[in-house]
Amino acid sequence: MVGNGFIIFLFTIDEKLKKNKNLRMIFLLSSTDFLFSVLFYPYSIYILVNWDSHDFDYDPLYVMIAATPFLMQLKINLILTIAIAVERNMALYFPVMYRRIDSSRYAIVTLLLSIVAGLTDVFLSFYMSKVMPRPNCPSIGCFCSCSNMFVYLFLNNDLWNLAKKTIGVNYEASSSSSHPPNPNSWKQPNKHKVRL
């Protein structure tokens, strides 16, 4: 939260950062992470205030509603990170196409797509689950009775993560191979040179 807040602060005070369209995705990623960390406070406070070391029973509907920022943040963070990786790969492999893309529009479309995907996850979590009380269990997963929802979430998020890692590995491999080593760096100094 502190790091994201600092990045947002830098974007607000520095005109060069505001005008740099290539950094819009970084600003959006920091802003959404900061927003969801703030929106997650009601859930955390509710869990801490009603905590009992022996026996506790939380309101399942409140926990499900208060934990929706967590579901949203998972999907938004994944999609924005993938979009940043795609943009970097495009700059490496297709520089002409990359120059033609409007970075502002790309960032806004990506943000809207990620919000729709996050809202879809939230809708499906309520639609596919019966909200049931579960004593002595504080997690959002305790109140979802439908195992299909967890299969959907894990498979869906794992596929997004796999795409992100594949693009990231591709980017790392291409950026390291795009700069060949300096031939002079391989020369060893002559240790046996005699000075007169």
Q: Are 106 and 51 in contact (CB under 8 A)?
A: no
Cβ-proximal residues to 145 (8 Å cutoff; 6+ apart), any chain: 129, 130, 132
d(C-alpha 144, C-alpha 178), whole Å: 49
Blockwise average pLDDT, block size 10, the chain, 196 residues: 81 81 82 87 84 78 82 86 86 86 87 90 78 73 61 62 62 52 49 51
Question: What's the confidence (pLDDT) of residue 59?
Answer: 80
d(C-alpha 164, C-alpha 62), whole Å: 33
Question: What's the confidence (pLDDT) of residue 154?
Answer: 62
CA angle centred on 154, ends 126 and 151, rounded to 5°: 65
Question: What's the confidence (pLDDT) of residue 161?
Answer: 63
Look at the pTM and tell me if it is higher than 0.75. no
Class of the CATH domain delimited by 2-175: mainly alpha
Question: What's the confidence (pLDDT) of residue 112?
Answer: 93
* Amino acid occupying residue 117: A
Domain ranges of the chain: 2-175
Which of left, alpha, beta for 41 (phi over 0: left; psi -120 to 50: alpha)? alpha
